[in-house]
Structure 1
Amino acid sequence: MKSDKSTNVVWHQHQIAKADRVRQKGIQRPAVLWFTGLSGSGKSTIANAVEQLLFAKGYHSYLLDGDNVRHGLNKDLSFADADRVENIRRIGEVSKLFVDAGLLVLTAFISPFQQDRALVRTLHSEQEFIEVFVDTPLAVCEQRDPKGLYKKARAGEIKHFTGIDSAYEPPLKPEIRVDTSTASVAECAEQVVAYLAGNGYL
Structure 2
Amino acid sequence: MSKSTNITWHDTTISKADRNAQNGHGSCTLWFTGLSGSGKSTIANAVSNELFRQGINEYVLDGDNIRHGLNKDLGFSDHDRTENIRRIGEVAKLFVDSGKIVTTAFISPFRSDREQVRDIFTEGEFIEVFVSCPIEECEKRDPKQLYAKARRGEIKDFTGIDSPYEAPEKPEITIHSNEVTVGEAVEQVLNYLREKNII
Q: TM-score range by the shorter chain?
A: over 0.9
Separation in 1 of the partners of 2:125 and 2:183?
Answer: 24
Residue identity opposite 1:11 in structure 2 = W
Residue identity opposite 2:116 in structure 1 = L
- TM-score norm. by structure 2 comes to 0.97
- Match for residue 35 of structure 1? 32
For residue 56 of structure 2, give the secondary structure of its aligned residue in structure 1. Answer: coil
- Match for residue 178 of structure 1? 175
Separation in 1 of the partners of 2:175 and 2:4?
Answer: 43
Residue identity opposite 1:118 in structure 2 = E
- TM-score norm. by structure 1 comes to 0.95
Cα deviation, residue 174, structure 1: 0.6
For residue 94 of structure 2, give the secondary structure of its aligned residue in structure 1. Answer: helix
2:150 is aligned with 1:153: yes
- Match for residue 11 of structure 2? 13
Q: Which stretches in structure 2 are left out of the alignment for 5+ residues?
A: none
- Match for residue 187 of structure 1? 184
Cα deviation, residue 22, structure 1: 1.5
Cα deviation, residue 16, structure 1: 1.6
For residue 183 of structure 1, give the secondary structure of its aligned residue in structure 2. Answer: coil
- Match for residue 57 of structure 1? 54
What is the correspondence of 1:21-170 to structure 2 with a 5 Å cutoff?
A: 21-26=19-24, 28-170=25-167
Query: Mean alpha-carbon deviation: is it higher for 38-47 or for 180-189?
Result: 180-189
Q: Pairwise CA RMSD of aligned residues?
A: 1.3
Separation in 2 of the partners of 1:173 and 1:12?
Answer: 34
Cα deviation, residue 171, structure 1: 0.2
Cα deviation, residue 14, structure 1: 1.6
For these two proteins, the number of residue pairs brought into alignment is: 199
Cα deviation, residue 153, structure 1: 0.3
Separation in 2 of the partners of 1:167 and 1:6?
Answer: 33
Cα deviation, residue 10, structure 1: 2.3
Cα deviation, residue 138, structure 1: 0.6
Query: Mean alpha-carbon deviation: is it higher for 180-189 or for 112-121?
Result: 180-189
Cα deviation, residue 90, structure 1: 0.3
Identity of aligned residues (%): 62
Cα deviation, residue 29, structure 1: 1.1
